[in-house]
Homo-oligomer: A and B are copies of this chain.
C-alpha cells in the first residue's frame, strides 16, 4: 500500500479523493498496490463529509510522516503551495500538482530538487486539465524535434468566443452569461486577459524546447479587444477566432512564445474546438501534426490527470522519470514582434494605401485585410498605417 496526502480540499483536491475512492480496486490492480488517502490538508473543517476523518490542519504531520510517499498538491498559487511542495520533495516524497502558476513560476527550481532527491514531480493537470498532453509530448513524441505547440487552453475564453462567433453577441454580454453559468469567475481577469493561457504556454514551451520560460517572457494579449468586426472578418475568411498559446522553434533555432487571439482556418482541427473544451496541437519533424482534445477543467477530469500522475509516480518510485529542463535563457528567445507570421490587419485606411504599405492583401469583411505574405509585427507597425488591430493567422 502507498499512502497519499492531498493538499487542499477544494474542487480539484476533493475530485482527487473521489477518483481514488471510486476507482480504488481498478487502480490497485493497475498500479500493483493500493493508493490509500491518508491525509487531506485544509484550513477548513468538513463536518459530515465522507473524508472528514482524513482532514488535518498541520502540514508538518504530512512532511514528517515517512509513510506518505505520494502527495497531490491542489491548493493553487505559488506561495503556500510552493513552500509545501518544496518541503515534500525535500522530504523525499513524490508530488503531483494541478497548479499551473506554481509550475510556470517555480518549475525549474522544483524539478531540480526532485532530481536531487530522486523523486518525481509531475504536473499533467496543469495544462489541458484532464487531457493527456504533457506526458505524450515528453515521452510518446520523444522521437521528434518539436517545431510548434499551439493550444486552446482556457475554457472560459473559448466559451466566450464560441458564443460571440455563434450568436454574434458582444463580449460584455457573453461574459455576464458565462459568469451566471459558473464558466467565468467574478473577477475574470486571469482568464480574459490571457494570464492563465500564458502560464500553460510557459510549461509547454519548457517541455518542448528544454528550458524554462517565465510568464513575463511571453507577450500576452487576451480577448477583451475582440469585437463584432473580428467575428465578421473570421466568417468572411472561412476562419474561426480563438485564443491560442503558441510556442515555436524559429528558422534560426530560437524559441518564440506568445498568447494572442488567432484567426484559424476551418480546415485546422483547432477551429472545431468549441465551448469550454481545450485542445493542444503539437507539430514535430516526424509525426507532422497531432492534437489532444478534451475537458480543460472540471473536478473529475482534472483529478483524472492528477491520479494518472500519482500512478506514474507509483510505477517509478525509485527509477524516477526525467522531465528536467534547464533554467530560462533569454538569449535563446525571439520576441514575436520580430517573427514573420501570416497576419490579418484591421484598418480604416483606403485599400490602395494599405496595399502600398503592406503589399498584396485580400479584403475581408468589415475593416479586415489578409496579408498575402508573412511579415513581422515590427514591419507592420512601421508601415505608418492607422491600425485597429493586427492578429496572426494560425497556419
Q: Pick the contact of A136 from B135, B145, B272 — CB < 8 Å?
A: B135
**A19 contacts B by Cβ under 8 Å:** yes
| A126-155 to B contact mask, C-beta < 8 Å, 1/0 | 000011100110011111110000000000
CA distance A321 to B319 in the complex (A): 12
Question: Is the pair A290, B294 in contact by a Cβ cutoff of 8 Å?
Answer: yes
User: Which residue of B has the minimal Cβ distance to A130?
Assistant: B287
How many angstroms from the CA of A304 to the CA of B303 in the assembled complex? 29
Most buried by B among A19, A130, A311: A130
Does A375 sit at the interface, judged by CB under 8 A? no
Contacts of A273 in B (CB 8 A): 269
User: CA of A290 to CA of B302 in the docked complex: distance in angstroms?
Assistant: 12
Q: Indicate which residue in B32, B140, B290, B310 contacts A293 across the interface (CB closer than 8 Å).
A: B290
Name the residue on B nearest A140 (C-beta).
Answer: B132
Number of interface residues of A (CB under 8 A): 56
Q: How far is the CA of A132 from the CA of B379 in the complex (A)?
A: 39
Per the bound structure, the CA–CA distance linking A300 and B288 in Å amounts to 8
**Are A307 and B139 touching (Cβ within 8 A)?**
no
Task: Check B30–A305 contact: CB distance below 8 A.
Answer: no
A20 to B143, CA, bound (A): 7
Which of the residues B23, B145, B321 comes within 8 Å of A145, measured between beta carbons?
Answer: B23
Once bound together, how far apart are the Cα atoms of A132 and B141, in whole Å? Answer: 8
Distance between Cα atoms of A291 and B131 in the complex (Å): 8
Asked if A23 contacts B293 (CB within 8 A), the reply is: no
Q: Knowing A139-B312, A141-B308, A303-B143 touch, does A269 contact B293 (C-beta < 8 A)?
A: yes
CB under 8 Å from chain B, chain A span 278-303? 284-295, 298, 300-301, 303
Most buried by B among A30, A32, A287, A295: A287
Residue on B nearest A314 in the bound complex, by CB = B142
Closest to A124 in B: B140
Contact check, B140 vs A136: say whether CB atoms are below 8 A apart.
Answer: yes
CA distance A275 to B148 in the complex (A): 23
8 A Cβ contacts from A45-67 to B: none
9 contacts between A and B (CB under 8 A): A15-B286, A130-B286, A140-B305, A143-B311, A284-B304, A286-B303, A287-B300, A288-B298, A292-B292
Given contact pairs A131-B290, A135-B140, A288-B301, a sample of 5 additional A-B residue pairs in the complex whose CB atoms are under 8 Å apart: A19-B286, A22-B286, A132-B136, A132-B141, A291-B292
Q: Which 6 A-B pairs have the closest CB atoms?
A: A143-B307, A290-B294, A132-B140, A286-B304, A132-B136, A287-B304
